[in-house]
């Protein structure tokens, strides 16, 4: 009897604690839903509640969600609070607050945030540039590049401009000839074939020219341009860069045309190797035909 009673007590305890756990989970779920519901609420209603959450003892994860809601509230106090958190030198929400300033798309806040860039560490600089990227603030990123104190800062900004497709801003940076590699890479990512072609035809700086030729392979639509450059040059270095570009572009039909037009055995061999590296079906047919001819 005592044993049965003890068992019942144990079972009921387990059931109650299970129900409590379920209830806790349920409350957490509703709490999160309550926070997320504020995203569509009138700003002056949502703001005091969100600010209260940010000042509370809630988990960092929950507060990060609150930051997102804050970034979506169109109210000057919401921006001020985000900026305060973004400027807080050792605040746990700093990086997330910077990202949220980007999501909010508020260029004025980002311009103020940029004042911190010079004194920031690398992680913070990444966050600031990322916020500009999210907001699409190309002018701000250009300003970072133009005032960069070292190659890393410059490259970070230029890479972001490439990802943003900010061709005009990248062209404005071309005068930084010492950083041509970063600029060419970003131009390629932005798909600016015209500027790359212009650089590819300019032989005043051979190193830059060769890099631009290779980058044409990265920029979509550069395949035909590369074939054209190949046909109209006598430079082995230029041809080698074109081959690198063609390999990246995957324009195997163009390489096949070059192969068929080539008279020089060494050149044919280079182009055939390129076709093989590109995984071209035509390369296998050429090899088969060559083997059959030998037999």
* CB 65, min distance to another protein, A: 11
How far, in Å, CA of 199 to CA of 7, rounded? 84
Residue 164 has phi, psi (to 5 degrees) of -85, -5
Q: How many CA atoms lie within 13 A of 275 on its CB side?
A: 23
Give the N- to C-terminal CA distance of the chain in Å, as an integer.
97
How far, in Å, CA of 34 to CA of 190, rounded? 41
8's tokens = 């019942």
How far, in Å, CA of 110 to CA of 104, rounded? 10
Pick between residue 39 and residue 172 the one whose CB is nearest to another protein: 39
Pick between residue 43 and residue 165 the one whose CB is nearest to another protein: 43
How far, in Å, CA of 146 to CA of 179, rounded? 12
Pick between residue 17 and residue 56 the one whose CB is nearest to another protein: 56
Pick between residue 26 and residue 228 the one whose CB is nearest to another protein: 26
175's tokens = 């005068």
Pick between residue 63 and residue 167 the one whose CB is nearest to another protein: 63
Helix (H) or strand (E) holding 72: none
Using only C-alpha atoms, the chain has a radius of gyration, in whole angstroms, of 30
Pick between residue 35 and residue 213 the one whose CB is nearest to another protein: 35
How far, in Å, CA of 253 to CA of 72, rounded? 50
Pick between residue 75 and residue 112 the one whose CB is nearest to another protein: 75
* CB 67, min distance to another protein, A: 14
Quick one: DSSP state of residue 205? S
How far, in Å, CA of 158 to CA of 190, rounded? 11
* CB 32, min distance to another protein, A: 9
Binding site for another protein (CB under 8 A): 26-27, 29-31, 33-35, 37-38, 40-42, 45-46, 49, 52-53, 56
Place of tokens 């003892």: 57
């Amino acid at each position: 009897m005592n044993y049965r009673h003890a068992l019942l007590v144990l079972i009921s305890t387990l059931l109650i604690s299970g129900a409590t756990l379920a209830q806790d989970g349920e409350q957490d779920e509703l709490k999160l839903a309550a926070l997320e519901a504020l995203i569509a609420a009138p700003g002056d209603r949502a703001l005091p509640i969100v600010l209260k959450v940010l000042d509370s003892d809630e988990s960092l994860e929950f507060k990060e969600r609150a930051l997102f809601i804050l970034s979506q509230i169109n109210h000057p106090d919401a921006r001020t609070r985000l900026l305060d958190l973004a400027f807080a030198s050792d605040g746990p929400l700093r990086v997330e607050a910077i990202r949220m300033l980007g999501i909010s798309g508020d260029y004025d806040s980002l311009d103020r945030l940029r004042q911190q860039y010079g004194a920031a560490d690398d992680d913070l600089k990444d966050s600031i540039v990322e916020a500009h990227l999210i907001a699409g603030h190309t002018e701000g990123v250009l300003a970072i590049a133009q005032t960069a104190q070292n190659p890393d800062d410059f490259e970070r900004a230029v890479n972001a401009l490439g990802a943003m497709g900010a061709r005009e801003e990248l062209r404005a940076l071309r005068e930084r000839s010492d950083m041509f590699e970063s600029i060419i890479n970003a131009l390629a990512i932005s798909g600016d074939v015209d500027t790359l072609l212009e650089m590819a035809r300019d032989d005043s700086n051979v190193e830059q020219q060769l890099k631009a030729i290779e980058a044409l392979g990265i920029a979509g639509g550069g395949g035909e341009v590369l074939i054209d450059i190949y046909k109209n040059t006598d430079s082995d270095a230029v041809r080698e860069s074109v081959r690198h570009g063609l390999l990246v572009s995957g324009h195997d039909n163009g390489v096949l045309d070059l192969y068929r037009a080539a008279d020089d055995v060494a050149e044919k061999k280079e182009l055939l190797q390129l076709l093989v590296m590109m995984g071209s079906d035509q390369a296998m047919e050429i090899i088969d035909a060559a083997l059959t001819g030998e037999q």
